[in-house]
Amino acid sequence: MTIFSIVVYLITKLRPPLSPPNASRTKRQLALPPANMSAPDPKEAWARLQTELSRRSAKYAGSGGGGGPKGLFGSIGGLILVGGGIWAANNALFNVDGGHRAIKYTRLGGVQKEIYNEGTHFRVPWFETPITYDVRAKPRNVASLTGTKDLQMVNITCRVLSRPRVDALPQIYRTLGTDYDERVLPSIVNEVLKSVVAQFNASQLITQRENVSRLVRDNLVRRAARFNIMLDDVSLTHLAFSPEFTAAVEAKQVAQQEAQRAAFVVDKARQEKQATVVRAQGEARSAELIGDAIKKSRSYVDLREFENARNIAQILQQSNNKVYLDSRGLGLDISQTTADKEQRANRK
């Protein structure tokens, strides 16, 4: 049987009678329905209840007896009592969803220390109030405008993953409430970012970003632990300087590149100068050695004449033009001995 059918049955059967009934009728009215009785249709039971109330209200109004109003008030009181019982049973249970924890606030004892896990739990209606917390890690981005050690302004954004410490939920509710992250994280993140960034120059924030991120993470974890908040991850997601500083850095980079290019050109010219000097010294030394060799013997000169003649012959062979030259002019007079050449050189 449904709850609604039981309510209708109690109202219609347990109401005090209008006139003294006989014993057999009273026994029939007070007898409970059999266990195997099928549940009545709720619509039909509601219609029967309205019809019965209308009929008996009209009967009370027509009879004018002293027992009528008392019976009507008894029926209404029973209905209110049953409805109140249903409301109390419905509000005596509360659910804790997955990834959540709950605590209780009582009107006499305040916040209780017991922490309720996921599932359905019992409470006393009106006297106890459940308070639910989401204990899963939640991301939050906090942006801050702060200054560096060399007085440059920088926009920096920090992303944190935070969650409350489960065993400290009663204390968190007493001191911070349910919006603990809104009360704590923006202030401590801004303070830590300003204190850490002030220790570095603008250029160091880029070249030593890993070190900056580590310092921010360590300081934030230590500060958040004072408020019973756990940080699973801290990272710097955005780092931007002012437009003036960015333009100055770009101009500095361009100037450094031009200076490096000029230094390269100067070094190249110096190396070329040194190469020219070394080459000239080598050629002078070579000429000196050749001169000494010629003074001692003309074999070197004869060798060079043969080499020149061979080169000239190759050029003439590859050329389509015909040229007639004296063999002596080509240095090809092989019949001439070295002694003849020396005598001719002496005559000159």
Mean pLDDT of 9-29: 48
pLDDT confidence band for 335 (50 / 70 / 90): low
Q: Are residues 28 and 104 in the same domain?
A: no
Of 79, 109, 134, which marks where a domain is finished? 134
* 84 within domain boundaries: yes
User: What was the pLDDT predicted at 83?
Assistant: 74
Which of the residue ranges 28-32, 34-38, 56-60, 253-257 has the most confident prediction, judged by mean pLDDT? Answer: 253-257
| Average of per-residue pLDDT values in the chain | 78
Q: Which residue has the higher pLDDT, 192 or 31?
A: 192
Q: Are residues 85 and 8 in the same domain?
A: yes
CATH code of the domain containing 218: 3.30.479.30
* 15 within domain boundaries: yes
User: What was the pLDDT predicted at 134?
Assistant: 96
- Residue 116 CA to residue 163 CA, distance in Å, equals 17
Joined together, the tokens standing for residue 75 give 């029926």
Q: Are residues 129 and 145 in the same domain?
A: no
User: What was the pLDDT predicted at 336?
Assistant: 54
Mean pLDDT of 245-265: 83
pLDDT confidence band for 346 (50 / 70 / 90): low
Q: Which residues contact 8 (CB under 8 A, 6 or more apart)?
A: 40, 45, 46, 48, 49
* 263 within domain boundaries: no
Of 219, 241, 263, which marks where a domain is finished? 241
> Which one, of 133, 226, 136, lies nearest residue 185 by Cα?
226
pLDDT confidence band for 19 (50 / 70 / 90): very low
Of 134, 158, 190, which marks where a domain is finished? 134
Mean pLDDT of 90-108: 91
Q: Are residues 154 and 202 in the same domain?
A: yes
- Please tell me the pTM assigned to this model: 0.54
Q: Are residues 205 and 119 in the same domain?
A: no
- Structural domain total, the chain: 4
Q: Are residues 151 and 224 in the same domain?
A: yes
Q: Are residues 130 and 148 in the same domain?
A: no
Please spell the DSSP secondary structure of 22-51, one letter per residue: PHHHHHHHHSPPPTTPPPPPHHHHHHHHHH
Residue 62 domain boundaries: 3-91
- Residue 125 CA to residue 91 CA, distance in Å, equals 6
Q: Are residues 101 and 79 in the same domain?
A: no
* 164 within domain boundaries: yes
* 257 within domain boundaries: no
Mean pLDDT of 81-96: 80
The string of pLDDT tens digits covering residues 197-244 is 999 998 899 899 999 999 999 999 999 999 999 999 999 999 998 888
- Residue 105 CA to residue 116 CA, distance in Å, equals 12
Q: Are residues 66 and 155 in the same domain?
A: no
Q: Are residues 164 and 237 in the same domain?
A: yes
